[in-house]
């Protein structure tokens, strides 16, 4: 409930752009989904621009009109993926083939980044925390 109030409060502020850095990260999956639906409705009603940071591919596809896929360190924009689906989005969107296609496309783009990061961490531990 506190997260809902925080989201509502931020939307009521008179700015055109909101910055939200993983606002649902500490929530359980069911609450996260419900708040995502609520946010989609608010997006449709207000037309505000939200820069929404998330590590959840499903959350990114469900909430975004455009997804900026980032590289691993140093973080740079690797590509932009458009999600062509009007807000408010129904939970049924997550059952559509296009949702799965977009999520899988994002994962394919990130897979190499993830593997490089894991390998670098493994190498760092093997070298006693020293990186080159």
- Tens digit of each residue's pLDDT (9 = 90 or more) over 22-63: 988 888 999 899 989 988 998 898 888 889 999 999 999 999
Question: If you classify domain 2-126 with CATH, what class do you get?
Answer: alpha beta
The span from the CA of 70 to the CA of 77, in Å, is: 4
Interval 78-127: pLDDT, tens? 999 999 999 999 999 999 999 999 999 999 999 988 888 888 888 888 88
Per-residue pLDDT, 59: 95
H or E segment to which residue 78 belongs: strand 77-82
Domain edges within the chain: 2-126
What pTM was estimated for this model as a whole?
A: 0.81
The span from the CA of 15 to the CA of 12, in Å, is: 8
Per-residue pLDDT, 48: 85
Residue the block writes with tokens 């900026």: 68
Under the phi-then-psi rule, with left for phi > 0, alpha for psi from -120 to 50, and beta for the rest, what region is 53?
Answer: beta
């Amino acid at each position: 409930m506190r997260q809902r109030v925080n989201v509502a409060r931020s939307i009521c502020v008179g700015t055109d752009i909101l910055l939200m850095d993983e606002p649902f990260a500490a929530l359980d999956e069911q609450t996260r989904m419900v708040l995502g639906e609520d946010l989609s409705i608010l997006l449709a009603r207000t037309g505000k621009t939200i820069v929404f940071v998330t590590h959840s591919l499903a959350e990114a596809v469900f909430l975004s009109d455009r997804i900026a896929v980032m590289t691993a360190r140093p973080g740079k924009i690797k590509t932009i993926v458009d999600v062509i689906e009007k807000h408010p989005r129904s939970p049924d969107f997550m059952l559509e083939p296009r949702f799965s296609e977009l999520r899988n496309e994002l994962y394919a783009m990130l897979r190499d980044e993830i593997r490089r990061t894991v390998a670098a961490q493994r190498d760092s531990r093997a070298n006693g925390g020293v990186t080159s």
